[in-house]
Chains A and B, each alone.
Chain A
Amino acid sequence: MKRSLLALAPLAAAPLLLAAPSASGNELILTKAAARDAMVIGLDLSVTEPAVGFEVRIEVPAAAVDTSGCMSKIPGLQIASCVFNGREVVVLALTEGLRPLSPGLLDLGEIRIRGLKGEAKVGQFVVSDAKGEPLSARVSEAGAAATPGHEALR
């Protein structure tokens, strides 16, 4: 597939507080690739601040989404789920004992999309500290500049 199937959600679409773009902050990195009849989106999290949990909502107007390769091999998590609810892929993670994730790059796996009808959009990316307060968060596509992620809904 030639054209980009990933687009960041319009930032003005909801009353959200956005993190200021910066070199620091936790970053969700998306990598897209075509594979046979499916679009594969790789998900990586660059951890730079003490995150104990995160949530990613990817709007996927698609006929079928395979999430079996998503969040399937990350140790140290009390909650690790990746669910397609018919409208979005929701990735949710919470560490055991609310221990911060180790700094570095965390491979969240991938989702495979068939029958995409439109664009896949990251609707929300929220990273939590141990008190349930949002940490700065941004989203980037591999090979593209990072864009502020949706940080909080307060």
Chain B
Amino acid sequence: MRKHRVSVLSAAVGAALLFSAGAEACTLNAWTVNGSIVGSAPNLVPGGPGHTNNTVKRYSGVCGMRALASGNYVQNDDPANDQIFRARFYVFTGITGGSATAYLAGNSTNNNEIEVIVNRASNQLQVRHRGGSPVNFTINSAGRWYSVEVAMNATGTATTGTDPIPANTMVVRVSGANTGVTDTITSQSLSVTSGAAIDFARLGWVSGSATAGSDGLQFDAYESTRSAGNPIGRLCRGNMNADTTRNILDLVQIANNINGTFSGGQPDVNEDGQVNVLDMTVLQQIISSTSPGC
């Protein structure tokens, strides 16, 4: 995540908002272009290995964001009352007790159209609409990286495309703590109110009472789009050079990351929040499998 990338998709909301303004430092500045930062250090910090705040975890690239208390988040205001809205981010579930809202998207009338909660009491990721009953995804009892992708369609008409969204539906896909060769992705849907719309999105420890521990909640790789038919998708675990497969070149780059030469890509292959020899082992298994491609 070295660069602030804007509109990487043709129908992008304008948000592929990351946590670095350049190679020299990790920052949250990209979020102020059309948004805001709510909170401050030490409760809300960007960081990553090799940078200031080097205990902050990152999933992709060299920077991520950590929130250690409620009311510390970044906000993106690119959405414009979008009734079709997709967002994807990675969250490290480091809180040790209680529950915290990690993502909230809505508008001035209903500010909780999409709410993603890390519930450590039940070890679940919960996603709900306007405070209704959530869909629940079981998570590891220890902190792990999870990708969360939500696709909302409140237009009353199903979308078409490679990843259509039924009318008045939110599709949620969660995947994380993957330690095997393939990603396990769990998908659930819930109903949304016709006409629901997204005008802002907040990412961080938005609200909720939880025990932060040393890791709190950490975030990376946020993207959003108003694409009707195309998913955002997951990043390719273990792919370090942004090509289409995983091979010895990626393995060497992970070894370099372990040795302190940090680079882009997704080195935390087992998604446990640390980059070490275990990631090399899993990547070795991926490369040796019949499906090393991304």
Contact = CB atoms under 8 A, between A and B. Distances in A.
Q: Is the interface of B mostly helix, strand, loop or mixed?
A: helix
B292 to A, nearest CB: 8
Contacts of A129: 252
A153 interface: yes
A55 interface: yes
A98 B259 contact: yes
A92 B248 contact: yes
A85 B247 contact: no
Contacts of A86: 290
Given A98-B259, A132-B252, A154-B241, A81 B284 contact: yes
Contacts, number: 72
A75 to B, nearest CB: 18
Given A81-B284, A98-B259, A92 B243 contact: no
Interface residues of B, number: 22
B248 A90 contact: no
B255 interface: yes
A92 B250 CA distance: 12
A85 to B, nearest CB: 5
A108 B210 CA distance: 54
Interface centre among B244, B248, B252, B288 (most CB of A within 10 A): B248
Contacts of B290: 85-88
The 6 closest A-B pairs by CB, nearest first: A132-B253, A55-B248, A132-B252, A83-B288, A90-B288, A128-B252
Given A52-B252, A88-B290, A154-B241, 17 more contacts: A53-B252, A55-B247, A55-B248, A83-B288, A87-B290, A92-B288, A94-B251, A98-B252, A98-B255, A126-B249, A128-B249, A129-B252, A131-B253, A132-B253, A133-B249, A152-B243, A154-B243
